[in-house]
Amino acid sequence: GAGVSQSPRYKVAKRGQDVALRCDPISGHVSLFWYQQALGQGPEFLTYFQNEAQLDKSGLPSDRFFAERPEGSVSTLKIQRTQQEDSAVYLCASRPDRFSTDTQYFGPGTRLTVL
Partner 1 sequence: RKEVEQDPGPFNVPEGATVAFNCTYSNSASQSFFWYRQDCRKEPKLLMSVYSSGNEDGRFTAQLNRASQYISLLIRDSKLSDSATYLCVIPGFQKLVFGTGTRLLVSP
| 33 contacts partner 1 (rule: CB under 8 A) | yes
- The beta strand positions in the chain, using DSSP E, are 5-7, 10-13, 19-24, 31-37, 44-50, 53-56, 65-68, 75-79, 88-95, 105-106, 110-114
| 48 contacts partner 1 (rule: CB under 8 A) | yes
| 90 contacts partner 1 (rule: CB under 8 A) | no
For residue 84, give the DSSP letter: G
| 87 contacts partner 1 (rule: CB under 8 A) | no
| 40 contacts partner 1 (rule: CB under 8 A) | yes
Q: Name the residues that contact partner 1, by CB under 8 A.
A: 31, 33, 35, 40-45, 48, 50, 55-56, 59, 91, 93, 101, 103-104, 106-109, 111
